[in-house]
Amino acid sequence: MDRLNETLPRYALAVLSHIALVVVWYLFVKLGNVPKFVMPSPVETLDALLSPNYGWWANIAVTATEIFGGYFLALAVGVALALAFTWSKVLETFFMPLLISLNMIPKVALGPLIIVWFKYGVLPNTLIAFSIALFPILLTTARGLREIEPELLDLVRGLRGSRWQLFTKIQLPGALPYIFSGMKVAAILAVAGAIVGEFLGSDKGLGYLMLQVQVTLDTPAMFMAVILITMIGVALYGMVLALERLLVVKDARLD
């Protein structure tokens, strides 16, 4: 109950800040007589969502698939690579410099190549989101796995614990705060990666829709697309935060 009393004011302030932003937006447009094609009001932006010509739900589903698909693929691969690097110094020495070099390639430059290799569609945009989200998860997870006390690891090995038991019982719980730190950064980057992919070449999705309505100067539809992209990102980030509170905070209370 005490914890609920602590979190409710925080969420209430977060909701109020968003409401205040919408109010300021509305007053700025109305009092400043800002033209609709420059900045629509919140009401005009919501009206754009009622247009059947843009296939909102289909485009939302495509963009969400790219973001979530790229993100969870990056999570699985990033944690697996970090674990492999902690098990083998040779693997880390060989692959980590290569991964750093590949990560330095601007994804905007890499995007056209991915599209050439995999053509248009959900897959190339998912891969771009994956490539951007992978590195923060890999780095923070690897650091978290290394922060485990060596004496504790030696104790489990002395008890003839398997590598899987060592990972699930000792390394993973101890590295969770680091993993979630990387996951939160990666959630933001996955959204950017998917939209960059849609900008570079796509025939569906909210990013593609933004390029289409830009030609007709349908600014309310552009604003609506941006808001929907933001909501997908917030939903992903909220899932990560909820999972972090469930696992990390729960472990802290048990300690």
pLDDT in tens, 141-198: 888 887 766 666 566 566 565 666 667 666 777 778 888 999 999 999 999 989 988 8
Our count of domains for the chain comes to 2
Closest CA to 59 of 240, 224, 234: 224
Spatial separation of the C-alpha atoms in residues 225 and 193, rounded to whole Å: 16
Query: Does the model's pTM come out above 0.85?
Result: no
Spatial separation of the C-alpha atoms in residues 71 and 85, rounded to whole Å: 21
Q: What is the CATH number of the domain that holds 53?
A: 1.10.3720.10
226 and 101 fall within a common domain: yes
124 and 83 fall within a common domain: yes
64 confidence band (pLDDT: 50, 70, 90) = very high
User: Residue 254: its pLDDT value, please?
Assistant: 45
**Which positions ≥6 away from 175 have C-beta within 8 Å?**
141, 144, 145, 147, 148
Residue 134's domain comprises 38-254
User: Residue 217: its pLDDT value, please?
Assistant: 82
Sign of CA pseudo-dihedral 249, 179, 170, 239:
positive
User: Residue 1: its pLDDT value, please?
Assistant: 52
Per-chain mean pLDDT for the chain: 82
76 and 114 fall within a common domain: yes
pLDDT digits (tens, 9 = 90+) for 3-42: 555 566 767 787 888 888 888 888 888 888 888 878 888 8
